[in-house]
Amino acid sequence: MAVPWPKVCGILAHELRAPLGVLQGYIRLLERQRLDDDPERPMLQAMLEATGRITTIARQASDLGTWLQAVDEEASLSCVEYAGLFAALADRTSVGHPQIRVKDPSPQVAMRTLRADVDRLADALLSTAESLRHETGEDVIEIAAPDSHRTGPVTIQLAPPAGSTAVPDAGFEDGAERAASFDRSGSGLALIIAAYVLEAHGARVTPGEHRSSLLVRIAGEGDLT
């Protein structure tokens, strides 16, 4: 009998956390036994950093399982205004994403509604913005919602701020196309979670007209099936 994916994610998170806790405990013990100039301290710090990344993956696996369970139970989305989504984005960028900026939407867009899990959707958009910044080499990515019609999907734009003079190197030419794909390594499970969350919100991600931009089109409350 197949095991449901939410359960698989929970088991994976549990199986990773137990040995990681032991490893990190012994590494910290070894680190405390060494002087500041001990040549082995950098090695132990690198081991802590590496195990810390695996701990992050375990947490992300747990988060993914929780989200998948909520989607299965159809209890994850509620009617909200875009003003609430952009407020959640602003709160997050102010404390943990200094290279991502949020531009307040116009009143016309702010009062539009959608069915959403605001916290999960905000996290997914930030993960997508961070991926875009990494893949395109831009210093800053701005999240904005240009004015739209009163009906149809709202478009959220991820792009360098207006007036930005940064020009990515030639090696970043296809960065936006790569960022529109969520099956790449290097971000733990953050992009996998973002892909599931955006799909549940009826979102479609495509490269924009700017070489370093993405467009995220999200169905409104009446458009979401």
The widest CA-to-CA distance across the chain, in whole angstroms, is: 65
The strand pairing partners of 116, in sequence order, are 78
What is the mean pLDDT of the segment spanning 2-8?
A: 89
pLDDT at 2 over 90: no
pLDDT at 174 over 50: yes
What is the mean pLDDT of the segment spanning 187-211?
A: 92
Distances in Å between the alpha carbon of 147 and those of 23, 41, 108, 158? 52, 54, 7, 14
Q: What is the pLDDT of residue 42?
A: 93
Q: What is the pLDDT of residue 150?
A: 65
The tokens for 105 are 């939407």
Which of these three, 57, 72, 87, is where a domain ends? 72
Question: pTM here?
Answer: 0.86
47 phi and psi angles, rounded to 5 deg: -65, -40
- Regarding whether 130 and 91 lie in a shared domain, the answer is yes
Range of the domain at 138: 78-218
Q: Would residue 16 count as lying in a domain?
A: yes
Q: Would residue 223 count as lying in a domain?
A: no
Read off the CATH number of the domain in which 181 is found: 3.30.565.10
Measured CA angle at 201 (ends 57, 112), to 5 deg: 130
- Regarding whether 131 and 67 lie in a shared domain, the answer is no
Q: What is the pLDDT of residue 225?
A: 38
The percent of residues in the chain predicted with pLDDT above 90, rounded, is 63
Which of these three, 43, 72, 101, is where a domain ends? 72
Q: Would residue 47 count as lying in a domain?
A: yes
- Regarding whether 93 and 50 lie in a shared domain, the answer is no
Q: What is the pLDDT of residue 64?
A: 94
164: left (phi over 0), alpha (psi -120 to 50) or beta: beta
pLDDT at 176 over 50: yes
**Which of 45-49, 125-129, 143-147 is least confident?**
143-147
Q: What is the pLDDT of residue 140?
A: 94
pLDDT per residue over 97-125, tens digit each? 899 999 999 999 999 999 999 999 999 99
The tokens for 82 are 């875009």
Distance CA 194, CA 126 (A): 9
Look over the chain and give the mean of its residue pLDDT values, rounded to a whole number.
Answer: 88
- Regarding whether 92 and 19 lie in a shared domain, the answer is no
Distance from chain centroid for Cα 55: 17
Distance CA 44, CA 27 (A): 6
- Regarding whether 85 and 39 lie in a shared domain, the answer is no
- Regarding whether 188 and 92 lie in a shared domain, the answer is yes
Total count of domains within the chain: 2
Q: Would residue 50 count as lying in a domain?
A: yes
Which of these three, 72, 93, 118, is where a domain ends? 72
Q: Would residue 91 count as lying in a domain?
A: yes
The strand pairing partners of 79, in sequence order, are 115
Q: What is the pLDDT of residue 153?
A: 79
What is the mean pLDDT of the segment spanning 140-162?
A: 85
Count how many residues are written for the chain.
225
Distances in Å between the alpha carbon of 141 and those of 21, 39, 97, 144, 224? 36, 39, 10, 10, 27
- Regarding whether 18 and 119 lie in a shared domain, the answer is no
- Regarding whether 199 and 90 lie in a shared domain, the answer is yes
The tokens for 211 are 């070489």
What is the mean pLDDT of the segment spanning 76-93?
A: 93
**Which of 31-40, 74-83, 106-115 is least confident?**
74-83
CA dihedral (223, 208, 121, 127) in degrees, to 10, reads 160
- Regarding whether 208 and 101 lie in a shared domain, the answer is yes
- Regarding whether 179 and 84 lie in a shared domain, the answer is yes
- Regarding whether 153 and 104 lie in a shared domain, the answer is yes
